[in-house]
């Protein structure tokens, strides 16, 4: 969708901002450009909408050399979000969002309806915020309007330059999550500039790690964290990259333990016998519809034998859908003070798959690091284990 071919930008004072850059961004892909200040990220981005012209090389958009396209026409195909947002202070939120459709000559009613739809999509109720002016919004809300405005004309490509850079870390994380949700719906081709490796890892399908006008590594987040291509990249992603990796490694069915499973209406004797046969101290409890209910301990089943498991079972709220990140798993364990979490599958996360324990979480992380290093799949990795004490 976007292709850079040997692109160099040298400014008039002799600064080489971008040096012989070649890379490609696929349709619907979100690529983060990350690196320290002054390494050429913004220059790269601004060459895509021709705010800056390359000194040499070519950039293709959807197969077309952009040097041959009228810049104004080109920019209509490209949404642009910047840190300062650049909303018009004298226009309402709704009118700000409808700017591009207006410029494209849409009828006022259609443009405003589209703007309202977009505001809704970025989490701002148009009936509450539509008539406000930008200075009546918080920083995070202004950023959302910026995103809505960039999407209003439904451009296939989105350029985002530190769009969440000016808000505090909590709001920032919130905006990142919302943006990921939005992107899963709209699937734009996105170039996203940031100097924050955490943000790059969290958002990018692939990350371009910049060092001084060149790309040092262009890979999916797990590979950048697990197998940095150069000492520079290793240094940039930081010594705690194992920890960052938690957020880009997802829970897979093969990571799970399979404790005994009993049902709410099972007789206590039957359930106790099942636990004893497996030498288990507890079992997962499902309801009639096979949905997760909770758990029951072997000790609780040693009392009076009449009745069903229902009497002794405890509710379990610590669960996640398969595919959630190991970071979410760890955080859920801490939040519920739980020694394990249930992992569910299915459209409504209603099918019990197994449980993730801290030991299994650690294994999953090690497996994924090993698998990346060897170019293997996670299930094929045999781990050496350190004997327990």
Binding mask 149-168 for ligand ATP (x = CB under 6 A): --------------------
Nearer to ligand ATP, 162 or 266 (CB): 162
Q: Torsions phi, psi of 45, nearest 5? A: -65, -45
Stretch touching ligand ATP by CB under 6 A, among 7-15, 54-62, 246-254, 373-381: 7-15
**CB of 35: closest distance to ligand ATP in angstroms?**
6
Nearer to ligand ATP, 33 or 153 (CB): 33
**Separation CA 200–CA 214 (nearest Å):** 17
**Separation CA 40–CA 204 (nearest Å):** 18
**CB of 21: closest distance to ligand ATP in angstroms?**
11
**CB of 63: closest distance to ligand ATP in angstroms?**
26
**CB of 36: closest distance to ligand ATP in angstroms?**
7
Helices (H), the chain: 41-48, 71-76, 93-97, 99-103, 108-121, 126-129, 139-151, 169-186, 197-203, 221-226, 231-237, 241-246, 268-278, 326-335, 358-374
Q: Is 15 in the site for ligand ATP (CB under 6 A)?
A: yes
| R_g over Cα of the chain | 26
**Segment 212-251, which members bind ligand ATP (CB under 6 A)?**
none
**CB of 38: closest distance to ligand ATP in angstroms?**
4
Q: How far is CA 378 from CA 82, 120, 250, 349, 373, in A?
A: 38, 39, 11, 23, 11
DSSP 305-357: --SBGGGT-EE---EEETT-BHHHHHHHHHHTT-S-EEEEETTTT-EEEEEE-
**Separation CA 323–CA 250 (nearest Å):** 5
Two tokens at 236? 């940039």
Nearer to ligand ATP, 161 or 363 (CB): 161
Nearer to ligand ATP, 10 or 310 (CB): 10
* Cβ partners under 8 Å of residue 57, min gap 6: 4, 5, 6, 7, 8, 20, 21, 22
Nearer to ligand ATP, 147 or 191 (CB): 191
Using left for φ > 0, alpha for ψ between -120 and 50, and beta otherwise, residue 48 falls in alpha
Nearer to ligand ATP, 8 or 331 (CB): 8
* Cβ partners under 8 Å of residue 146, min gap 6: 81, 82, 85, 86, 87, 163
Binding mask 290-319 for ligand ATP (x = CB under 6 A): ------------------------------
Closest CA to 35 of 176, 164, 218, 245: 218
Q: Which of 2, 4, 7, 17 binds ligand ATP (CB under 6 A)?
A: 17
**CB of 47: closest distance to ligand ATP in angstroms?**
10
Q: Which of 13, 73, 135, 347 binds ligand ATP (CB under 6 A)?
A: 13
Q: Which of 60, 132, 195, 366 binds ligand ATP (CB under 6 A)?
A: 195
Task: Tell me the site size for ligand ATP, rule CB under 6 A.
Answer: 13
**CB of 220: closest distance to ligand ATP in angstroms?**
22
Closest CA to 42 of 166, 195, 237, 196: 195
**CB of 149: closest distance to ligand ATP in angstroms?**
21
Stretch touching ligand ATP by CB under 6 A, among 12-20, 169-177, 201-209, 365-373: 12-20
**Segment 30-69, which members bind ligand ATP (CB under 6 A)?**
35, 37-43
**CB of 170: closest distance to ligand ATP in angstroms?**
22
Q: Using CB under 6 A as the criterion, which residues of the chain lie in contact with ligand ATP when the complex forms?
A: 11, 13, 15, 17, 35, 37-43, 195
């Amino acid at each position: 969708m976007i292709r850079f071919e040997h692109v160099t930008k040298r400014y008039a004072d002799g600064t080489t901002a971008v040096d012989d850059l070649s890379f490609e961004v696929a349709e619907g892909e979100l690529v983060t450009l990350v690196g320290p200040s002054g390494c050429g990220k913004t220059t790269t981005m601004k060459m895509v909408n021709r705010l800056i012209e390359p000194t040499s090389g070519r950039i293709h958009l959807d197969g077309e050399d952009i040097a041959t396209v009228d810049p104004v026409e080109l920019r209509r195909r490209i949404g642009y979000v910047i840190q300062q947002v650049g909303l018009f202070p004298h226009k309402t939120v709704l009118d700000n969002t409808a700017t591009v459709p207006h410029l494209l000559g849409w009828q006022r009613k259609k443009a405003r309806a589209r703007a309202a739809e977009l505001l809704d999509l970025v989490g701002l109720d148009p009936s509450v915020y539509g008539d406000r002016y930008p200075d009546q919004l918080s920083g995070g809300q202004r950023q959302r309007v910026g995103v809505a405005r960039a999407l209003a004309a439904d451009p296939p490509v989105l350029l985002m330059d530190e769009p969440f850079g000016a808000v505090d870390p909590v709001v920032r994380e919130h905006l990142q999550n919302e943006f990921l949700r939005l992107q899963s719906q709209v699937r734009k081709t996105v170039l996203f500039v940031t100097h924050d490796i955490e943000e790059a890892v969290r958002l990018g399908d692939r990350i371009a790690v910049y060092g001084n006008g060149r790309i040092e590594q262009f890979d999916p987040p797990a590979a950048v964290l697990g197998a940095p291509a150069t000492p520079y990249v290793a240094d940039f992603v930081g010594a705690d990259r194992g920890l960052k990796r938690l957020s880009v490694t997802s829970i897979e069915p093969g990571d799970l333990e399979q404790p005994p499973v009993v049902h709410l209406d099972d007789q206590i004797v039957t359930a106790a016998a099942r636990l004893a046969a497996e030498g288990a101290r507890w079992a997962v409890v499902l309801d009639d519809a096979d949905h997760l209910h909770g758990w029951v301990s072997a000790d609780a089943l040693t009392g009076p034998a009449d009745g069903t498991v229902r009497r002794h079972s405890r509710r379990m709220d610590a669960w996640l859908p398969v595919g959630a990140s190991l970071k979410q798993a760890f955080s859920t364990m801490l939040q519920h003070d739980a020694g394990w979490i249930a992992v569910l599958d299915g459209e409504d996360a209603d099918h019990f798959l197994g449980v993730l324990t801290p030991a299994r979480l650690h294994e999953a992380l090690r497996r994924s690091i090993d698998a990346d290093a060897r170019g293997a799949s996670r299930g094929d990795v045999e781990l050496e284990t350190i004997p327990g004490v």
